[in-house]
């Protein structure tokens, strides 16, 4: 009788076991731009996930990595798959701003916390119900704009021309930069745009040259940002050229070549970790990531963009023990607890700075997350950590 009862109950028992969350495992859905216009940023990010811990607080961690090819539609498709099919506890991605912005609705609708690796402040601001689920690891464009404007003012620049991507990255930079320029009495003489896949910006550069600015700010990211700079040099521009932290990798140096020489840009301290003062609070964490990445991929291979992925991993590692006090992985309650734990991150030293988040600030960086750098002899040279 007992045997018959057990056999009859077996299908129901198996069904229950299969439907129960895998409490011993945390699933992280990663969406990167490993191909397309954002590839020079996305590839080091993808590489970095192989270096992240496979176990946190006694729970195994699985990273499920998809490529959105720098495309917003693919990013949304990937995010939906990771949430509905793979049942992830956390989304990380995307690499660049447009796909990241497209993923916000998906994350918020499913109440899944998301950490973007893109810079645009519009990913996390203005804070609202949807963005309460969204975090990011790169410094805000507003934060880096302050460093550029301060450097311009200190070096006597009175007029500037702007050329940036015709998407959220370029628009975000112009919005922040133009406000600060007005405060510092620096006049913007031109405001031009170009698309990431463009192969010519001659028309835009001719307009900039005609305005005769003291300096030009190029608000692009990755290797596409080299195009305006090379065109400016070809046309004989002699003023100062500034780039954003979106170009802080060796692929940009390779593509831009000699035309990069003398360029100024703000960057995360990771870019020049070995040049930081011994008492810099970010140096130890930045060098730890540098050592791990270069051990796996070779000397000189480290990238600030890979650092954004590393820092996302550090946020997860820091938050999981707190979240586990509330619920187990695979549940709605765990996702909510993970979101809350990330939002309460305090004094966490990562590769790009010190993170102190709160309900209104989902990046949590202060001035310790930026330095001013100049390209000298084809290499990054720290010129100031005081901006």
CA 331, distance to chain mean position in Å, is 27
The per-residue pLDDT for range 161-175, each reduced to its tens digit, is: 999 999 988 999 999
Integer Cα distance of 379 and 221 in angstroms: 18
pLDDT at 271 over 50: yes
Q: Is the dihedral of CA 222, 373, 48, 291 positive or negative?
A: positive
Integer Cα distance of 168 and 120 in angstroms: 7
CA distances from 113 to 120, 131, 187, 343, 379 (A): 18, 9, 41, 10, 37
Q: Which two tokens stand for residue 32?
A: 């990167």
Contact 278, 284 (CB under 8 A): no
The per-residue pLDDT for range 352-375, each reduced to its tens digit, is: 999 999 999 999 999 899 999 999
The per-residue pLDDT for range 208-238, each reduced to its tens digit, is: 999 999 999 999 998 999 999 999 999 999 9
Integer Cα distance of 153 and 169 in angstroms: 24
| List of residues 6+ apart from 147 with CB closer than 8 A | 266, 370, 372, 387
- Give the DSSP per-residue string, 50-65: TTS-SEETTEEEEEEE
pLDDT at 262 over 60: yes
pLDDT value at position 156?
Answer: 96
pLDDT value at position 24?
Answer: 73
| List of residues 6+ apart from 228 with CB closer than 8 A | 163, 194, 201, 204, 205, 216, 218, 220
Q: Name the pLDDT band for 386 (thresholds 50, 70, 90).
A: low
Contact 123, 135 (CB under 8 A): no
Q: Which two tokens stand for residue 23?
A: 């409490």
- Please state, as a whole number, how many other Cβ atoms lie within 10 Å of the Cβ of residue 21: 16
pLDDT at 6 over 90: no
Integer Cα distance of 40 and 33 in angstroms: 9
pLDDT value at position 384?
Answer: 80
Q: What percent of the chain has pLDDT over 90?
A: 87
Q: Which two tokens stand for residue 261?
A: 């020489």
pLDDT at 20 over 80: no
pLDDT value at position 387?
Answer: 55
Integer Cα distance of 282 and 353 in angstroms: 5
pLDDT value at position 102?
Answer: 97
Integer Cα distance of 240 and 299 in angstroms: 31
pLDDT value at position 8?
Answer: 52
pLDDT at 13 over 60: no
Q: Which of helix, strand or coil describes residue 24?
A: coil
The per-residue pLDDT for range 108-159, each reduced to its tens digit, is: 999 999 999 998 889 999 999 999 999 999 998 888 999 999 999 999 999 9
Q: Write down the mean pLDDT value for the chain.
A: 93
Integer Cα distance of 148 and 137 in angstroms: 20
């Amino acid at each position: 009788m007992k045997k018959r009862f057990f056999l009859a109950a077996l299908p129901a028992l198996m069904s229950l076991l299969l439907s129960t969350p895998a409490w011993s495992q945390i699933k992280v859905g990663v969406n990167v731009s490993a191909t397309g216009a954002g590839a020079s940023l996305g590839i080091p990010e993808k590489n970095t996930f192989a270096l992240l811990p496979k176990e946190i607080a006694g729970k195994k961690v699985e990273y499920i990595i998809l490529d959105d090819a720098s495309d917003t539609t693919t990013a949304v498709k990937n995010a939906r798959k990771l949430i509905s099919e793979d049942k992830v506890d956390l989304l990380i991605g995307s690499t660049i701003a447009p796909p990241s912005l497209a993923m916000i609705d998906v994350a918020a609708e499913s109440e899944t916390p998301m950490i973007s690796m893109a810079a645009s402040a519009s990913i996390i601001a203005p804070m609202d119900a949807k963005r309460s689920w969204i975090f990011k690891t790169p410094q805000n464009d507003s934060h880096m704009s302050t460093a550029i404007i301060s450097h311009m003012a200190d070096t006597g620049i009175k007029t500037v021309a702007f050329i940036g991507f015709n998407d959220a990255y370029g628009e975000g930079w112009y919005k922040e930069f133009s406000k600060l320029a007005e405060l510092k009495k620096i006049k913007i003489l031109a405001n031009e745009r170009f698309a990431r896949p463009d192969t010519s910006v001659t028309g835009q550069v001719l307009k900039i040259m005609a305005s005769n600015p003291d300096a030009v700010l190029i608000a692009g990211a990755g290797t596409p940002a080299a195009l305006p700079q090379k065109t400016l040099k070809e046309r004989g521009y002699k003023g100062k050229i500034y780039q954003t932290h979106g170009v802080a990798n060796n692929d940009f140096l390779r593509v831009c070549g000699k035309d990069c020489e003398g360029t100024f840009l703000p960057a995360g301290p990771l870019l020049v970790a070995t040049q930081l003062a011994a008492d810099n609070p970010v140096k130890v964490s930045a060098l730890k990531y540098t050592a791990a990445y270069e051990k796996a991929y070779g000397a000189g291979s480290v990238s600030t963009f890979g650092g954004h992925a590393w820092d996302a991993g550090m946020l997860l590692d820091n938050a999981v023990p707190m979240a586990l006090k509330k619920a187990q992985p695979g549940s709605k309650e765990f996702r909510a607890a993970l979101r809350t734990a990330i939002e309460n991150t305090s004094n966490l030293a990562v590769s790009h700075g010190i993170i102190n988040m709160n309900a209104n600030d989902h990046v949590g960086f202060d001035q310790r997350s930026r330095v001013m750098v100049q390209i000298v002899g084809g290499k990054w040279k720290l010129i100031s950590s005081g901006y």
